[in-house]
Amino acid sequence: MLEGKIAVNLSYYSNVKILRLVTNKLGGMIPLELRSFKNLVQLNLTTNNLTGVAEKHLIGTLAPDIGLTLPNL
């Protein structure tokens, strides 16, 4: 189980296609740096303790057909 915040240095893995960080104890805001995932096709961050508004930071940086699942923020 992961705890803490989503590490900013995850953004260095630009070839990531699927990122699942579900059912953990992650908190804080989703880092803006995650928008650098150019090849991401699925992002699932459900069942965490994330706070803040993330959707507007991710819009326009992910492909329109991405399978995007975010918690109720």
For 9-42, the pLDDT digits (tens) are 776 777 878 777 777 777 766 666 676 777 777 7
Q: Is 49 buried (19+), middle (13-18) or exposed (0-12) by CB count in 10 A?
A: exposed
Model-level pTM? Answer: 0.52
